[in-house]
Chain A
Amino acid sequence: MREATLWTLHLAAGVVILVFLSIHMGIMHLEDVLTALGTGYRDALGWASVVMRNKQLYFTITYVILLAAALYHGLYGLRNILLELGPGPTAVRVIQGILILLGASLFVLGTIAAIAAYVR
């Protein structure tokens, strides 16, 4: 794939992360602030709350989208940083191979966990 396409996907993934991770951070880490403002709900990490989100298709789908976008954005960013250090052609292939394998493995793990939690 052309480098310009990969870079554009990196930016697009960043926008996707901005939207969904902002929602995630609001639910997880601003729950008391949101509650004080008259919205939000408490104890986001409690099991009942986790199950409630697991059973909603919206959360399952957006979790998988966020997982894919964050893995791509993060690992492509790491690849760019490593390649800026000037490795040789063989090292570049090894770096890219490891990052693709790592990203694909974690995507499969996270997706299986999300689906398993949804159907459980």
Chain B
Amino acid sequence: MANGSQTGQIGLRGWVYAGRFGLERYAYTLHRITGLGLLLYFLMHIFVTSSRALGQAAWESVMGFLSHPIFRIGEFLVYVAFAYHALNGVRLILGELGLGLGNPVRPEYPYPIAHRRQRPLFLALMIISGILILAGGWDFFVTKH
């Protein structure tokens, strides 16, 4: 198997170093980090929510344990990860389907870059994500403090 220097792959370093790829590369890195965080939480969440099948005492025991402020903060971080991952995922799926990237054009200098055409969509989705995070923060920390 060819090593990284031969294939141009830079491994984990590519997660944190955007180089000339810019903002969307950092969005990609954050998408991966939030995805891994959500997956880890989700696998534990299946066990936690399965306790409802054991009755009220089991459910309230688990909920009592998870009412500690540390878990509340962790839960909010999961909510933040969801708000980002979901809306950035919408952009990725639209891009995968070729939507919002503009029509193909002849490669004449200065070359148009497809993801720059999609950047207004990215920024709009991130604003929506920010609004959802603020609304969630109000629910988590103001009304249920």
Q: Which residues of A contact B (CB under 8 A)?
A: 11, 14-15, 17-18, 21-22, 25, 29-33, 45, 47, 50, 54, 67, 70-71, 74-75, 77-78, 81, 84-86, 88, 102, 106, 109-110, 112-114, 116-117, 120
Interface string of B69-102 (1 = CB under 8 A from A): 0000001000100100010011001001000000
The verdict on B26 contacting chain A, using a C-beta distance below 8 Å, is: no
B93 CB, min distance to chain A CBs, angstroms: 6
Q: Which residues of B contact A109 (CB under 8 A)?
A: 46-47, 50
A50 x B50 contact (CB < 8 A): no
B60 x A116 contact (CB < 8 A): no
Q: How many B residues are at the interface, by size bracket?
A: 35 or more
Partner of A67, one of B4, B46, B55, B59: B46
Across chains A and B, the number of contacting residue pairs, with CB separation under 8 Å, is 81
B:131-145 near A, CB below 8 Å? 135-136, 138-140, 143-144
Partner of A15, one of B42, B93, B140: B93
Contact status of A85 and B32, CB under 8 A, knowing A21-B86, A33-B139: no
Q: Which residues of B contact A78 (CB under 8 A)?
A: 36, 39
Q: A29-B79, A30-B135, A113-B52 are in contact. List 17 more A-B contacts (CB 8 A).
A: A15-B93, A29-B75, A29-B139, A30-B139, A32-B139, A32-B143, A33-B135, A45-B63, A47-B59, A54-B52, A67-B46, A71-B42, A74-B42, A81-B32, A85-B11, A110-B46, A113-B49
